[in-house]
Amino acid sequence: MLVLDSFGNCYGSPSISATAGPAGVIDNTINLYTGAGYTVCDDTGTNPPCTISAGEGFWVRVPANSETNARLRIGGACESGSTAAMADMSNSSVVEKDPASADAWAVYLKINAGPYVDPVSTLGQRAGASIDYDRFDLRELPPDRAPYMTMVFPHPDWGDRAGDYGADYHSVDDIRRNEWHFVVKTSQELSDLKLSWQAPEHILKFSQLMDEDTGETIKLKKLQSYSTEWYGLKERHFKWVLKKLDSKTSVRMKE
């Protein structure tokens, strides 16, 4: 995450911690309002970066009836060029790898529908993640006002972690077929919808997008976007499928 002051100076490496109560009681997921819903990032740098400019606020989760307060600590000045490289996901052409996991990868999804934009939701694989909830999965606040348009990975099956997520990671060691279900929701009567993505070429080669409402399957090898309609619906359902990888394919992906 980046923080910009009123003079445009950039500061990085923030962290969120509790000033009282047990460690980990505060969720380090940062929710930023986009004008049509929320987008999420965290303070670890493993998910897409976001930028908080002077005068902007954000939300973090704390337990109900908790006396715990949150503390935001801002790190030193950003490295030269980091603002331009990280602040605008829509203009970025490079999907960064997590240096802690050489084989980690991520796909950044973006939705445009009428005047509304959900700038980024993330799916991927990385070390330490799992098919169930893990610390790299970021829960997104539900829209609290209309109009809204938002894209989420729904996980009603995750017990006390059940909810809609803006980032969903699986284990990088799992070379079986992997699927990510995501839903685009709106309060409005909209006609057109455009889904675009930034993804590593070797992942696109083995990926498909399934439009679960129309039954259409789209091969993604040479595509960067998919345009469709709402068909009078308020929710549109999709699935990103990474085909099953054998050992030969897995080696080829890592090259």
**Which residues on neighbouring strands pair with residue 153, listed in sequence order?**
165
Q: Where on the phi/psi map is residue 175: left (φ > 0), alpha (ψ -120 to 50), or beta?
A: alpha
Q: Which domain holds residue 183?
A: 2-254
Given a contact cutoff of 8 angstroms between Cβ atoms, the answer to whether 107 and 199 are in contact is yes
The residue that leads in pLDDT, 76 or 39, is 39
Give the pLDDT band of residue 243 (cuts 50, 70, 90). confident
Number of H helices, E strands in the chain: 3, 18
Strands 163-171, 138-139: pairing is antiparallel
Position 40 pLDDT exceeds 70: yes
Cβ atoms within 10 Å, residue 237: 15
Taking the C-alpha atoms of residue 124 and residue 110, their distance in angstroms, rounded to an integer, is 15
Highest mean pLDDT among 66-75, 96-105, 130-139, 169-178: 130-139
Position 98 pLDDT exceeds 60: no
With CA atoms as reference, report the closest residue to 52 among 24, 72, 80, 23. 72
Question: In total, how many domains does the chain have?
Answer: 1
Position 178 pLDDT exceeds 50: yes
Taking the C-alpha atoms of residue 126 and residue 94, their distance in angstroms, rounded to an integer, is 17
Q: Which residues contact 155 (CB under 8 A, 6 or more apart)?
A: 133, 137, 161, 162, 163, 164, 165, 168
Global confidence as pTM:
0.77
Position 189 pLDDT exceeds 70: yes
